[in-house]
Amino acid sequence: MAFDAGTAIILIGMPGAGKSTIGVRLATQRSMPLIDTDRLIEQREGLTLQTILDERGYLALRQIEAQVLINHRFTGQIVATGGSAVYSAEAMAHLKRFGPCVFLDIPLDEILNRVRNLDSRGIAGPPGLGLAEVYAERLPLYRQYADIIIDGANLDELALLAEVESALKTL
């Protein structure tokens, strides 16, 4: 895939994988705008993700997320998606029209160490489902939609960024 000014880079992965953090670094390094789709949802709804979950349920949040993704143009942007974006085939097909999907594949034990605010984080899954179950459910979807899979095991932020940049050069 040839990168031009209109090509986006779509980051997918679990909450705590580093999508927003790496997104900020990529955006700075490449002089591209960063879009955090969780913030797009919150702006549209005027509510936090957790409030949407609490008041409307996880299926409503997933539906809102899909609508937000489908109705947005991501031309020339770094896109840090919500972890549940992969539940919508239509939304993922739309995202992939703008550029490659990069899956930040972080092992479950590292995710568990990073995500401390599970009860207030706004993770769209059925009530009572733990992070390990959400991880197991989503992992095949992340792999299905990924154009690039970055093995982020034991990598710090700068090393993960370097791996992403290196992989993007192979497209």
As a whole-number percent, the residues of the chain with pLDDT over 70 amount to: 94
> pLDDT, tens digit, for every residue of 102-128?
999 999 999 988 877 555 555 667 777
pLDDT at residue 38, rounded to an integer: 94
- Check whether 17 is labelled as a binding-site residue: yes
- C-alpha 96/C-alpha 115 separation (Å) is 27
- Check whether 20 is labelled as a binding-site residue: yes
Give the mean pLDDT of 81-92: 95
Higher per-residue confidence, 80 vs 128: 80
Edge-to-edge strand list for the sheet holding 101-105: 34-36, 78-80, 9-12, 101-105, 148-151
- Check whether 85 is labelled as a binding-site residue: no
Confidence band for 4, pLDDT divided at 50, 70 and 90: confident
SS3 9: strand
> pLDDT, tens digit, for every residue of 128-139?
778 889 999 999
pLDDT at residue 130, rounded to an integer: 82
Under 8 Å between Cβ of 78 and 34: yes
pLDDT at residue 106, rounded to an integer: 97
pTM tops 0.85: yes
- C-alpha 88/C-alpha 65 separation (Å) is 9
Confidence band for 74, pLDDT divided at 50, 70 and 90: very high
- Check whether 122 is labelled as a binding-site residue: no
pLDDT at residue 3, rounded to an integer: 75
pLDDT at residue 122, rounded to an integer: 53
Which CATH number does 9-168 carry? 3.40.50.300
- Check whether 19 is labelled as a binding-site residue: yes
- Check whether 143 is labelled as a binding-site residue: no
The CA-based angle 59-151-115, given to 5 degrees, is 45
